[in-house]
Structure 1
Amino acid sequence: MGEGDIHIRRATADDAPVLQRLIALHRHADEEDEKVDRYRERLDSLVVNDQHHIVVAEAAGQVLGYAAAQDYGPAPQRDWSIARMHDLWVSPDARGRGAGTALFRAVQTWAEEQTRIRVLEWQSLEVAAEFYKKLGLSGERVDEADPRELYEIEVHLPGATGVE
């Protein structure tokens, strides 16, 4: 299967149980993070929340992974908002086929199409750093003492000039 076989679409409530099973099956592949776990447990309600943009990658009718982002809305002192990508996850046996890139591009396109979103941000573990480098992105180390090796990554979107 090549990249052409992968289809990205907006997640529905019907996808949440499938995603929960995939995550549980491959939980050992990710670093334990209570905040991330709580987010994933709420996927069934978040897929129908307009402030969240959750997309799935599928091939031959099988869900391979998903990406989830949230528009935080404008802060009181500005008329633009920051969106955060909470999760980008592809089943380990489906990696290397372009699903992760397609999921990231779908989130980036969504953020670019929202007139008020000017910055897309997220944190990445060291294990995913090479993936983001292939996309032309790099991040700054969050905390040198943090054993999880988290990197903060930001993408300033078109029209985002002057963003502080």
Structure 2
Amino acid sequence: MGDGDIHIRPATVADAAALQPMFAEHRRVDENDEKVDRYRERLESLVTNPGHHIVVAEADGRVLGYAAAQDYGPALHRDWSIARMHDLWVSPDARGRGVGTALFEAVRTWAEQQTRIRVLEWQSLEVAAEFYRKLGLSGERVDEADPRELYEIEVHLPGRPRSVVE
């Protein structure tokens, strides 16, 4: 693995081939998930969908990881929305170099720049809980009986004035 600078950029349709094996490897740590399988199949359309934000980390021309988030849009009873980070994954040989932190910060920055998003949420497996703790984030156990040890994590984004045009 080279020591090139890490660059975070929006994923493109051309990244689909590099992301497919990462999706497969990422899902090995969890049970099969029909929703994620459909998500994988729709990757090419999602990278161009404005409601989704998918970024990749790249160094020396190689994709090292990705993060994927979605703005769910406002509910009927409020004019703000919640965004969900579906995935954050870094190739094992690229871990410990700041790739995951850079991907997370890119998603948080995206959410902060979307004037209607007030909360960024996601679930983390226990295996990633220490990563989020190092970022100063902690979560609550979703279900004590769940063998996957899922934690629900939320970041409440800074308040901002309402935009005149939404």
Say yes or no: TM over 0.5.
yes
**Paired residues of 1:20 and 1:41 also in contact (CA < 8 A):** no
CA-to-aligned-CA distance 1:39-83 (integer Å, 9 cap, x gap): 233222211111000000000010001000000000000000000
**Paired residues of 2:26 and 2:89 also in contact (CA < 8 A):** no
- Percentage identity across paired residues of the two chains: 80
Partner residue, 2:138: 138
TM-score by length of 2: 0.89
**Paired residues of 1:9 and 1:56 also in contact (CA < 8 A):** yes
**Paired residues of 1:72 and 1:82 also in contact (CA < 8 A):** yes
Provide closer, same or farther for how the CA distance between residues 27 and 75 of structure 1 changes in structure 2, counting only shifts above 3 A.
closer
Partner residue, 1:94: 94
Structure 1 counterpart SS, 2:58: strand
Could you tell me which runs of 5 or more consecutive residues in structure 1 were left unpaired when the two chains were aligned: none
Q: Runs of 4 or more off by more than 6 Å in structure 1?
A: none
Equivalent residue runs for 1:116-131 within 5 Å: 116-131=116-131
Partner residue, 2:163: none
Moved more, 134-143 or 12-21: 12-21
CA-to-aligned-CA distance 1:75-122 (integer Å, 9 cap, x gap): 000000000000001111111111100000000000000000000000
- Opposite residue 95 of structure 1, the aligned amino acid is R
TM-score by length of 1: 0.90
Q: Distance in 1 between matches of 2:120 and 2:13?
A: 25
- Note if 1:111 corresponds to 2:121: no
Could you tell me which runs of 5 or more consecutive residues in structure 2 were left unpaired when the two chains were aligned: 161-166
